Amino acid sequence: MILSPSPSGRRSGPKPRHCRIPQRHPQHPDAGAASDAGFTLLEILVVVAILGLLIGLVAPAALRQLGGARTSVARQSIERLSSVLDLYKLDLGSYPTTEQGLRALAVQPAGAQGWTGPYLKGETTPVDSWNRPYLYRSPSTRGGHEYDLCSRGPDAQAGDSSLICNP
C-alpha cells in the first residue's frame, strides 16, 4: 500500500499503534515470582504433621507383623529340628537325652553307637528366633510326646502358657 500525503499534510492510511510494554508493579501478584520459589514454613509443618500421622498409624501394624513372623519362624524351626531328631532316632534307636541336648545333633555324644552325624551344621546349639537356646527334654513331660522341644517365645518366660513347642 502506498501512502500519499493528504491535503492537510498528513499521511493517510492506518494510524500507528503504540505498543505498551507491561511493567511489573511491586503490588502485583506475579511480582518477583522467580525469587519466591520454595515452601513456606507452614507448608513444611503440614507435610511433617501428615508424615508423622502416617508413621504413627503404620508402625504399630508393621511391628505386630514382625512379632508374628518371628513366632512363625520359631514354629517352623521346631518342626525342622523335630525332623532332624527323628533322623537321629532312626540311627541310634532313641532320642538324645536331656543331658545330651540338641548338641548331640552336631557333636557325637560319648558312647553313641551308630551316630552318622553331624545332623546340623556347625558345633553350636541351635537358637530360636529371639536368639535364645531351645528347651529340650527327653523323655517328655507332656502326654503323648517322646520329647519336648520348645522356644520360650518373645517374653522369655519359661511358663508353659507362653512356650512354643513341638506338635
Of the given ranges (29-33, 57-61, 121-125, 139-143), which has the lowest mean pLDDT? 29-33
51, pLDDT greater than 80: yes
Closest to 158 measured CA to CA, from 146, 150, 147:
150
Question: H/E element holding 60?
Answer: helix 41-92
Q: Is 112 exposed, middle or buried (0-12, 13-18, 19+ CB in 10 A)?
A: middle
Class of the CATH domain delimited by 61-165: alpha beta
Q: How much is the pTM? A: 0.60
25, pLDDT greater than 60: no
Q: In 10 A of CB 74, how many CB atoms?
A: 20
Cα–Cα distance measured from residue 83 to residue 60, given in angstroms and rounded to the nearest whole number? 35
- The residues spanned by each domain of the chain are 61-165
